[in-house]
């Protein structure tokens, strides 16, 4: 296991190197000029040229890239053109809001999609199965930004059930003291029930929208895996021997069906990293998605490159964890 993990971590190096090359090239073709964000519109051409020279934007592309790689190897992702702060510091300060949002969304998706997929597989071609198919098609077909706007319109403007899209907590409630960086957890630890209620109410809609979009592929994968497991020889033998149906479904079949589900979960989390960019802007969520959206619209090269490098690293590490769980759940993988 140690050798396998070490090998996978070494393979991470060429992957990240390729990502930096692609990202570095793509950021240079984004419409817009970062100098416009760094100087006044009334600045003279000489001033603009001086700022560009100081930022190294006048150097050849290969020289800029080598300088960037050298800085990254020393833990320096550069300074943001918009915030004038180190990109690494910006990413770290905005990581926990995004992590809290995606964690809540993934929890909602798994808690609802797995039982739905199991029920659809057990009662195939029933009303539950047809409803699950309609649900899956709806979740896949609806853009996440449209679901977010629709949710705000229905649950805030019409029904007045949930708060407006104003961030992680109400503007009239003080944020809990920072312990873990997760508002819901910090409010519980501090015993601040008003802040806890406000944080929960604020996260329900954005997490629900992200979770609904993620539930569709997870439910479909769960159903497909369960159908295959229920039709297998060991399942038929267990039924013939008079095993309890619940034991057959949950103890034997679901354990085999969960392996492809884990891979799909990792892929869905990668999708969330992209979908959260739009959701955080719709709900004024102060996380990484909103940060990179501002960076893209402002041609903030260091911020864009830092975010993509962070996302790629996180995505690869998630798949590494999935592979490790594969070995734990299915010893045949070792052979």
Catalogue the E-assigned strands of 102-220.
Answer: none
**Residue 71 belongs to a domain:** no
Return the closest-CA partner of residue 312 out of 284, 277, 272, 270: 270
Q: 275 with 144: CB under 8 angstroms?
A: yes
Residue 230 lies in a domain: yes
Written as one string, the DSSP assignment of 260-300 is HHHHHHHHHHHHHHHHHHHHHHHTT--SHHHHHHHHHHTT-
Q: Angle at which helices 193-230 and 183-190 pack, to 10 degrees?
A: 130
Query: Of 280, 323, 333, nearest to 95 (Cα)?
Result: 280
Q: How far apart are CA 331 and CA 335, in angstroms?
A: 8
Look at residue 272 and tell me if it is in a domain. Answer: yes
Res 57: pLDDT = 72
What CATH number should be reported for the domain holding residue 116? 1.10.3720
CA distance linking residue 235 with residue 223, whole number of Å: 16
Tokens of 268: 């869905």
Q: Reduce the DSSP state of residue 79 to 3 states and report it.
A: strand
Q: Averaged in consecutive runs of 10 residues, what is the pLDDT profile of the chain (335 residues)?
A: 75 82 78 69 75 74 83 83 86 89 91 89 86 79 85 91 89 88 90 91 92 85 87 85 83 81 81 79 89 84 86 81 76 61
Which domain range does residue 191 map to? 95-301
Does residue 180 sit in helix, strand or coil?
coil
| CA–CA dist 68, 293 (Å, integer) | 21
d(CA 266, CA 219): 14
What confidence score (pLDDT) does residue 32 get? 67
Nearby residues of 327 by Cβ (< 8 Å), 6 or more positions away: 1, 4, 333, 334
Q: How far is it, in rounded angstroms, from Cα 136 to Cα 109?
A: 12
How many Å apart are CA 252 and CA 234, to the nearest integer?
A: 9
Total number of domains constituting the chain: 1
Whether the full predicted model's pTM is greater than 0.85, yes or no, is no
Q: Does residue 254 sit within a domain?
A: yes
pLDDT the model gives residue 202: 92
Q: How many CB atoms lie within 10 A of CB 67?
A: 13
Q: What pLDDT shows up at residue 274?
A: 67
Alpha carbons within 13 angstroms on the beta-carbon side of residue 154 total: 8
Q: Do the domain assignments include residue 124?
A: yes
**Could you report how far apart the first and last alpha carbons of the chain are, in Å?**
12
Using alpha carbons only, what angle is made at residue 129 by residues 128 and 132, rounded to the nearest 5 degrees? 85
Residue 31 resides in a domain: no
Residue 107 lies in a domain: yes
CA distance 252 to 269: 27
Q: What is the pLDDT of residue 334?
A: 59
Q: At what angle do helices 193-230 and 127-141 cross, to 10 degrees?
A: 120
In a domain, 112, yes or no: yes
């Amino acid at each position: 296991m140690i050798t396998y993990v070490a090998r996978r971590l070494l393979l991470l190096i060429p992957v990240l190197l390729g990502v930096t090359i692609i990202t570095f090239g793509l950021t240079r073709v984004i419409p817009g000029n970062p100098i416009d964000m760094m100087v006044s519109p009334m600045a003279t051409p000489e001033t603009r040229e001086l700022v560009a020279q100081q930022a190294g934007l006048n150097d050849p592309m290969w020289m800029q890239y080598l300088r960037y790689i050298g800085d990254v190897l020393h833990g320096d992702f550069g300074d943001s053109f918009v915030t004038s702060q180190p990109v690494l510091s910006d990413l770290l300060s905005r990581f926990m809001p995004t992590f809290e949002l995606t964690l809540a969304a993934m929890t909602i998706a798994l808690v609802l999609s797995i039982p739905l997929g199991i029920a659809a597989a057990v009662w195939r071609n029933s009303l539950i199965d047809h409803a699950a198919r309609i649900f899956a098609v709806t979740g896949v077909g609806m853009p996440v930004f449209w679901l977010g706007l629709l949710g705000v319109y229905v649950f805030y403007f019409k029904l007045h059930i949930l708060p407006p899209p104003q961030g992680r907590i109400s503007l009239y409630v003080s944020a809990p003291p920072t312990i873990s960086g997760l508002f819901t957890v910090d409010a519980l630890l501090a015993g601040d029930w008003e802040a806890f209620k406000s944080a929960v109410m604020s996260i329900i809609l954005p997490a629900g929208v992200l979770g609904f979009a993620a539930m569709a592929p997870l439910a479909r994968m769960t159903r497909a895996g369960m159908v295959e497991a229920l039709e297998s020889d060991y399942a038929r033998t267990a039924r013939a021997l008079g095993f309890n149906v619940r034991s057959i479904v949950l103890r034997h079949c679901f354990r085999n069906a969960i392996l492809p589900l884990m891979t799909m979960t990792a892929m869905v989390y990668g999708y969330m990293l992209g979908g959260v960019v739009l959701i955080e802007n719709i709900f004024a969520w102060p996380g990484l998605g909103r940060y990179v959206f501002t960076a893209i619209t402002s041609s903030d090269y260091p911020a864009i490159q830092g975010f993509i490098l962070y996302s790629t690293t996180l995505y690869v590490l998630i798949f590494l964890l999935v592979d490790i769980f594969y070995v734990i759940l299915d010893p045949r993988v070792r052979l």
